[in-house]
Amino acid sequence: MGLKEKLHNIKEKGDGKKWLSAFSAFHTFLYTPKETTHSGGHLRGADDLKRTMTNVIIPLIPVLIFAMFNVGFQQSVAINGFTEGMSFFSGEFWSFDNFLIGAIKLVPLLLVSYVVGLGIEVIFATINNHEVEEGYFVSGMLVPLIIPIDTPLWMLAVAVAFGVVIGKEVFGGTGMNILNPALTIRAFLFFAYPTWMSGDKVWVTGVVERTNEIAAGANLDAISGETILGSLAQGKEFAYSTWDMFFGFIPGSVGETSALLIFLGGLYLIFTKVGSWRIMLSAVIGSLVMGLIFNSVVDLGWINEGSKFYGLMSTEFWHHLLLGGMAFGIVFMATDPVTGSQTNRGKWIYGFLIGFISILIRVFNPAYPEGVMLAILLMNVFAPTIDHYIVQGNVKRRLKRIKAKTA
Amino acid sequence: MGLLSKKDLKLITDPLADNNPITIQVLGICSALAITAELKASIVMSVAVLFVMGLGNLTISLMRNIIPPKIRIIVQLIVVATLVIIVDLVLKAFAYELSKTLSVFVGLIITNCIIMGRFEAFALANGPIRSFIDGVGNALGYALILIIVGFFRELLGSGTLLGFKVLGDPIEKTGVYAFGYENNGFMLLAPMALITVGIIIWIQRSRNEALIEDN
């Protein structure tokens, strides 16, 4: 008897037992079960939840691997300086050392995220006697990618516990949540431990140790671990070219830096119809419009270089898409089918406002030069309202049409 | 026979658990969110509400037969405003720093829905002693939640209790493997008070199925 049959037999025996949900989760992880999902607010097609989730994981894998290289690369640049000729194809980037440094930092974050998140899902499934759903597989992957690399593991564990329980389980689990769980986790970290989540010391691993060594009298060059957005917000110069931003050789949250890979991931999501192209496109348009508005404010001379908003306002409008978490947020966060708008016209409004508000917060919030997280969470809250009015509008229009016909 | 009859005792115990003004009736949330960042403020607020509510219920009940029904809300407001002003002045005289922390929220006890609710629902229809007990009971129910929320928010948010340090210092920024305690700044923000109250409601309802409403 093969492993498959054995596991299946165990499952049959466990009918109604407490441990069945935990076992089923493991079983489903290994084999595709015969049962398919028949209900759930997140489903609009014949795809089951597992395939949908896998289709989001696949484009995240290159981002994750690139992130490991970039973490090591940023550290070595921070220590040795950025020399001419380093590029996407150079050996300085794709070195095994870089990968190792990144992996040592990133793999524990990934593990903690999955163990804590899935652990809580299993506990809740056992208590409520339902199946463990695959929802957390994507969130668990997203979470380490959107936080600073040096976030301590225990903080991540606390945040994941909070995000999964308060952000998801209290609403009824996968498919019922109002807010994107990964962003809820990030928002919790951001408000709970702000000094670990922003500023110039958290984005590049090793900056703090080095600062301490310099303070202790070591003869080393001080390094800047500032993100481009951080520099812009303070009106400082930065040394990165547009191509660096596009390929992603810049400091930032772990997975957000490479616009190229995120763009390819976005194409994959659109191709597999998991992510909505309407949301992605409208969010891009929204951010470009806001960027253009700020650019023209600068062009018209309404603010001068003395203004503290000058740095971010005068940034080329399309640069905003390459900076910070904009691309990552639009592709992987805003398109979450559970928390986004469901109607087609609603998706345009929802996406546009995400882009628009992101740039607005980015420019005007002095404490925090990034607004993608807050903009998406805000629009998550409004998505049902948008849908409601779209649906009501349709109903009204059709009623009118019937009236006109019968009259 | 004890000091209180069984029926009277219920007036005190009911609001503490199954008819709690905050977690079951969801009244008085505003002040529960605003002033619970410190345990001390929660306690002082609780005492203030206890005073206003006990005496207020007593006064209204004594006057219940001479208050013209058409202007009863105005009379209630005058009673509660008088008591609140007394509390405010006492605080300013004896605990000035604290009265600054509580700031406008002492004044806002006047509009605390729990107090007006008890005047309307109980004191206008019951005798003075029972009304007094009811006021004290509801104030204690309010105080219980305020103190629980204040305890957790101050402990986890500032690492102190009543101003004394109980939890450790922030940890050094040394990367992923940094272990140690760091205060959770989110606990000091009002949303976390709401979530804490929500968790209390959650626990309470999962222990007592009868409290869950049908939708």
Write the pLDDT tens digit of every residue in B12-42.
777 877 778 888 878 878 877 888 888 888 8
Give the residue-averaged pLDDT of A222-227: 64
pLDDT more than 70, % of chain A? 84
SS3 call for B165 = strand
The CA distance from B27 to the nearest CA of chain A, in Å, is 22
User: Which residue in the set B171, B172, B176 is minimally distant from A109, CB to CB?
Assistant: B176
**A contacts of B185 (beta carbons < 8 Å):** 191-194
Write the pLDDT tens digit of every residue in A30-73.
777 666 666 666 555 566 777 888 888 889 999 998 888 888 88
The answer for B 149-178 residues in CB contact with A (under 8 A) is 170-178
Write the pLDDT tens digit of every residue in A83-111.
655 555 666 777 888 888 888 888 999 99
pLDDT of residue A349: 93
CB contact under 8 A, B173 and A153: no
pLDDT of residue A355: 92
User: What are the domain boundaries of chain B?
Assistant: 6-211
Chain A residue with Cα closest to B203: A170
Is any Cβ of chain A less than 8 angstroms from the Cβ of B203?
Answer: no
CB contact under 8 A, B185 and A170: no
Burial A173-196 (b: 16+ CB within 10 A, else e): bbbebebbbbbbbbbbbbbbbeeb
On the 0-12 / 13-18 / 19+ scale of CB atoms within 10 A, B63 is middle
Taking CB atoms within 8 Å and a gap of at least 24, the contacts of A25-32 are: A25/A118, A25/A121, A25/A122, A25/A125, A25/A131, A25/A132, A28/A134, A30/A3, A31/A4, A31/A7
CB contact under 8 A, B175 and A170: no
User: What are the domain boundaries of chain A?
Assistant: 1-35, 49-274, 275-391
pLDDT of residue A399: 92
| ipTM above 0.85 for this complex | no
Write the pLDDT tens digit of every residue in A371-401.
888 999 999 999 999 999 999 999 999 999 9
The CA distance from B206 to the nearest CA of chain A, in Å, is 12
Written in H, E and C, the secondary structure of A156-205 is HHHHHHHHHHHHCHHHCCCCCCCCCHHHHHHHHHHHHCHHHHCCCCCCCC
User: Which residue in the set B176, B186, B189 is minimally distant from A152, CB to CB?
Assistant: B176
Write the pLDDT tens digit of every residue in A165-194.
988 888 887 778 889 999 999 999 888 888
CB contact under 8 A, B174 and A201: no
CB contact under 8 A, B195 and A166: yes
pLDDT of residue A352: 94
Give the residue-averaged pLDDT of A208-230: 65
The CA distance from A166 to the nearest CA of chain B, in Å, is 8
